Amino acid sequence: MADPTSSPAEAAAGSALTDDNRKIWEQSPQHFVDRRVEMILEMLPKLGADASLLDIGCLDGELTRHYADAIGTNKVSGIDVALSERARENGVEVSVFDLNERAPLPHADATFDVVVCIETLEHVYPTDHLVAEIQRVLKPGGTAIIDVPRLDSLLNIGLLAFGFQPPGIECSRQRRYGSINEDSVITGHVAYFTRRALLEMLEHAGFRILEAKQVGQRSGWLLLQEAQGRRVSLPVRFAWWLYDTVSPKKEYLVVKAQGTA
């Protein structure tokens, strides 16, 4: 159900965007545990079997199960528009829900002990609305973990300086024009976050920031190449390692926040 305050044009744009996102996500859901996922698992609280978890953008539920195991619970809910049947097979109680419709999440106030929103916020237009909804469905004192690509990463700054289109910042939903890597996939991102912007958005919604950590995309990129059967040469591996070691502004930002509503 669409938000009654949205215009027909906004609703149509949201539906078209969601259809595009569904196609992108169904092509290559992430199953491997890279350094970014490891960091999220380390940040999750150990709460036990009575805790409840909501994964916004759960896809097929493979990573959701890792999050639930880290918390120690089987009370697992998810929200997505893609791969819902596979998520249910993985024990996730999924609500098929379009985050671009600006409607309330299909859950009551103060329902969940933990809400994770991983690689999802950058795919929706109503970002403030979604963050406010995370605050609403989270129990007071509950934990939210939100992970987004970082616009102000050193990699993006460097690529822009040399005239390349950075990964995840696209001018087309059909082809990666201007990319340094012709094999780059379309991400479908429509919202872009510096570290300052994400923290300000969360604080404006009433969250208390507990931790904000950055992590590079080297680990995930190498695991993706391996999953696709591509060989990465030693010079490329060394260059990635060197960059990841010295970079003061890495590609992802993972924030742990506490609900206060």
Q: List, in order, residues 6 or more apart from 10 with CB less than 8 Å away.
A: 102, 125
Using CB atoms within 10 A of its CB, is residue 182 exposed (0-12), middle (13-18) or buried (19+)? Answer: exposed
Domain 8-151+190-221+250-258: give its CATH architecture.
Answer: 3-Layer(aba) Sandwich (3.40)
How confident is the model at residue 26, as a pLDDT?
A: 75
Distance CA 173, CA 187 (A): 8
Sign of the Cα pseudo-torsion (8, 13, 18, 20, in order): positive
Do 133 and 115 meet the contact criterion of CB atoms below 8 Å apart?
no
- What radius of gyration, in Å, describes the C-alpha atoms of the chain? 18
Residue 155 to residues 130, 179, 187: CA-CA distances in angstroms?
A: 28, 13, 17
Cβ contact 100:72 at 8 Å: no
Which pLDDT score, from 0 to 100, does residue 8 have? Answer: 44
Contact call for residues 11 and 191 (beta carbons, < 8 A):
no
User: What does the alpha-carbon distance between residue 29 and residue 16 come to, in Å, rounded to a whole number?
Assistant: 20
Residue 29 confidence (pLDDT): 72
- Could you read off the pLDDT tens digit of each residue along the chain, which spans 261 residues? 334 344 444 344 457 777 777 777 777 777 889 999 999 999 999 999 999 999 999 999 999 999 999 999 999 999 998 888 999 999 999 999 999 889 999 999 999 999 999 999 999 999 999 999 999 999 999 999 999 999 999 999 999 999 999 988 988 888 889 998 776 778 889 999 999 999 999 999 999 999 999 999 999 989 888 888 889 999 999 999 999 999 999 999 999 999 997
Query: What per-residue confidence (pLDDT) applies to 6?
Result: 43
For 98-114, write each residue's pLDDT tens digit.
Answer: 998 899 999 999 999 99
Burial class (CB in 10 A: 0-12, 13-18, 19+), 243: middle
Are 258 and 141 contacting, i.e. CB atoms less than 8 angstroms apart? Answer: yes
